[in-house]
Amino acid sequence: MEKLISEFSFGLFFWQLFIFVGLVLLLKKYAWKPILDTVNERESSIKGALSAAAAAREEMENLQADNQRILKEARAERDTLLKEARTSSNQIVEQAKAEAKKEADKIMQQTQEAIANEKAAALEDLKRQVAGFSLDIAEQVLKSELESESKQKQLVEKLLSDVKLK
Amino acid sequence: MLQLLRRVFFIGLLFGATTVLAKEADAQPTSLKAEIKAYINHHLEDAHDFTLLSYTAKDGHKVHVGIPLPVILWDNGLKIFSSSKLYHGESVAKVGDSYYKLDHGKIYRTDAEGTITFDAEHHATNVAPLDFSITKNVFSILLTALIMFFLFRGLAKSYTENGMIAKGVGRFMEPIILYVRDEIAIPNIGEKHYKRYMSYLLTLFFFIWFLNLLGLTPLGINVTGNIAITFCLALITFIITNVSGNKAYWGHIFWMPGVPTFMKIVLAPVELLGVFIKPFSLMIRLYANISAGHIVLMSLIGLIFIFKNWLGSSLSFALAFAISIIEILVALLQAYIFTVLSALYFGFAVEEHDEH
């Protein structure tokens, strides 16, 4: 201990204190502060870049998932559309068929009705003509029968003979 | 070009060997053990000049190779002169009207002949002026501070020039800065408060680490194994801890919640003592670890010259090499421990106790 104290040099202590404190202050200004600032900045920028990359990757994955989903939806929609189109076309064809049949039936019916009408009209006409003919014939017969007084008396006689009083 | 130089210098710091120290041990073969011991002691202490090696010339004259450093004394006015005037305590420096002489790493005012008188306990009785010299350690601290400043400012600049990515040597340092933040500051202090302490913790960690590594180079520097240095660092940790201490922190020291009143009275002095023991342990731990490392390493190198045979010397070399490798680890470990414990103490100071 005594050796240590006798070894102690105040001059050396003074210079060491002076130089060391000066060195700390100088290095703080010209070295440590800029170095640590840069390192911190670099670290935060690396961290930022890494998180940005992770975020970008996530976004990319989301986008891809979205794309997949949209594609799937589109496919499904196409399928349903096709299906709908198919059914609707079938329906239309069916409907057209039905309508055509209906129309045809209607026309047929109308035709039949018309035929029936024509037929009835024709029969009526025929009846009338036959009646006319009959009257004409009857007229002619009567005319010829009742041409003379004798014939008229004969007829009346005959009719009277047919009539028997009871 | 500057960058290349910087890089080369940095690699030199990391992988520097400790071999140069060995060159001068055989100056006086008669008392080799004593010589080595003195050399180690000398190395552990601070010096007024940056000596790389010294040897005895053929004429018996001692030659020191190195750089002289400025000596700054406060002795009735500022006195500045080159340490070459002191010449490792072998000559008397005349500055103005005063004479100074170096003795065991300390400068004393003497007369013209450089007489130093000693008391019974072998302490010099001469006047020792206040010594603010740029010593070897101060020089090393300045060098480390400059390296750190340019290294980390370069790193900060490279971010703006290179789009937030580190370039150059800073690239090696960036993970360590992040480690200090994520593994030392945040777990110990908490997400909320750690930012305030980052400048201190980072500077502390790299300062201790670099100085520890510099101590492993063959330049013979021992800064972090100096008590004044570790005292200063521990003192700063102590001051920051207690200045930032919140109500709960002081409450836990003087009036421990959740225990009986009697225990509160018993615990208060213990806790108060703990406030001082914590930084004290920081100071001693770093000092002792680094000093011990240097002593062991230099002793093993010294052994090479004591054995002077193939088996012993190579064994010593292998051991010294292994210890060097361990010391590189210890250099990092001690910096880590000092920083972690400082962070832990700051954490105690700002911790919010919701449970009480």
- Distance between terminal CA atoms of chain B? 61
Alpha-carbon separation of residue B217 from A93, B46, B117, B275 (angstroms): 107, 16, 37, 36
Mean pLDDT, residues B240-253 taken together: 89
If you write DSSP's letter for every residue of B88-146 in order, what string do you get?
GGTS-EEETTEEEEEETTEEEEE-TT----B-TTS-B-S---EE----HHHHHHHHHHH
For residue B74, give the 3-state DSSP assignment.
Answer: strand
Q: Is the pLDDT of residue B207 over 80?
A: yes
Mean pLDDT, residues B248-266 taken together: 86
Mean pLDDT, residues A134-140 taken together: 90
Return the bridge partners of B95, or none: B98
Nearest to B141 among A7, A16, A39 (CB): A16
Find out whether B204 and B233 touch, Cβ atoms under 8 Å.
Answer: yes
Q: What is the pLDDT of residue B95?
A: 79
Find out whether B145 and B170 touch, Cβ atoms under 8 Å.
Answer: no
> Is A35's CB within 8 Å of B156's CB?
yes
Q: What is the pLDDT of residue B30?
A: 57
Helical axes B310-350 vs B227-243, angle rounded to 10°: 20
Min distance A35 CA to chain B CA atoms (Å): 5
Find out whether B66 and B51 touch, Cβ atoms under 8 Å.
Answer: yes
Higher pLDDT, A68 or B252: A68
Find out whether B39 and B27 touch, Cβ atoms under 8 Å.
Answer: no
Nearest to A11 among B133, B200, B229 (CB): B133
- Testing the interface with A: which of B48, B104, B139, B202 to mutate, by most A Cβ within 10 A? B202
Confidence of residue A3 (pLDDT cuts 50, 70, 90): confident
> Is A26's CB within 8 Å of B164's CB?
no
Q: What is the pLDDT of residue B9?
A: 47
B42: closest CA among B120, B119, B136, B142? B136
Q: Is A49 on the interface with B (CB under 8 A)?
A: no
Q: How far apart are CA B170 and CA B162, in angstroms?
A: 12
Mean pLDDT, residues B13-36 taken together: 50
Which chain B residue lies closest to A4 (C-alpha atoms)? B227
B→A contacts (Cβ < 8 Å), by residue, are 45-46, 72, 130-135, 137-138, 141-142, 145, 148-149, 152-153, 155-156, 159-160, 164, 174, 177-178, 181, 195, 198-200, 202-203, 207, 226-229, 231-233, 235-236, 287
Q: How far apart are CA B338 and CA B273, in angstroms?
A: 20
> Is B155's CB within 8 Å of A8's CB?
no
Q: Is the pLDDT of residue B10 over 50?
A: no
Mean pLDDT, residues B197-205 taken together: 95
User: Which secondary structure element, helix H or strand E, spans residue B79, and what is its range?
Assistant: strand B78-82
Higher pLDDT, B51 or B183: B183
DSSP assigned state of A31: I
DSSP assigned state of B222: -
Burial of B138 (C-beta count, 10 Å sphere; 0-12/13-18/19+): buried
Q: What is the pLDDT of residue B220?
A: 79
Mean pLDDT, residues A109-119 taken together: 94
Helical axes B170-179 vs B136-161, angle rounded to 10°: 100
Alpha-carbon separation of residue B287 from A28, B223, B281, B334 (angstroms): 26, 9, 10, 10
Write down the pTM of the prediction. 0.74
B139: closest CA among B261, B245, B274, B47? B47
Least confident interval from B7-11, B145-149, B297-301: B7-11
Dihedral angle over CA of A105, A107, A111, A114, nearest 10: 120
Residue written as token pair 């005063």: B98
> Is A22's CB within 8 Å of B135's CB?
no
Find out whether B268 and B257 touch, Cβ atoms under 8 Å.
Answer: no
> Is A11's CB within 8 Å of B236's CB?
no
On chain B, the residues whose CB falls within 8 A of the CB of A29 are none
In chain A, the number of structural domains is 1
Residue range(s) defining the domain that contains residue A89: 2-165
Q: Is the pLDDT of residue B4 over 60?
A: no
Q: What is the pLDDT of residue B275?
A: 92
Residue B239 sits at φ, ψ, to 5 deg, of: -65, -45
pLDDT winner (highest mean) among B123-127, B160-164, B232-236: B232-236
Dihedral angle over CA of B30, B36, B38, B44, nearest 10: 170
Write B164-167 long-range contacts (CB < 8 A, 24+). Answer: B164/A38, B164/A41, B164/A42, B164/A45
Q: What is the pLDDT of residue B28?
A: 43
Q: Is A19 on the interface with B (CB under 8 A)?
A: yes
The answer for residues whose C-beta is within 8 angstroms of residue A42's C-beta and 6 or more apart is B164
- Testing the interface with A: which of B232, B284, B294 to mutate, by most A Cβ within 10 A? B232
Find out whether B71 and B133 touch, Cβ atoms under 8 Å.
Answer: yes
Mean pLDDT, residues A119-131 taken together: 93
Min distance B122 CA to chain A CA atoms (Å): 13
- Testing the interface with B: which of A5, A10, A14, A16 to mutate, by most B Cβ within 10 A? A16
> Is A35's CB within 8 Å of B164's CB?
no
Q: What is the pLDDT of residue B291?
A: 92
What percent of chain B has pLDDT above 70?
90
Q: What is the pLDDT of residue A159?
A: 85
Find out whether B205 and B335 touch, Cβ atoms under 8 Å.
Answer: yes
On chain B, the residues whose CB falls within 8 A of the CB of A34 are 156, 159-160
Half-sphere exposure of A57 (CA within 13 A, CB side): 6
Number of helical (H) and strand (E) elements in chain B, helices listed first = 10, 8
For residue B64, give the 3-state DSSP assignment.
Answer: strand
For chains A and B, count residue pairs whose Cβ atoms are closer than 8 Å: 121
Burial of B327 (C-beta count, 10 Å sphere; 0-12/13-18/19+): buried
B220: closest CA among B292, B306, B136? B136
Q: What percent helix, strand, coil does chain B show, rounded to 5? A: 60, 10, 25
A39: closest CA among B153, B191, B175? B175
Mean pLDDT, residues B123-129 taken together: 79
Q: How far apart are CA B221 and CA B290, in angstroms?
A: 11
Q: Is the pLDDT of residue A158 over 60?
A: yes
Q: Is the pLDDT of residue B151 over 60?
A: yes
Side chain identity at residue A62, one-letter code? N
Q: What is the pLDDT of residue B68?
A: 85
Half-sphere exposure of A33 (CA within 13 A, CB side): 8
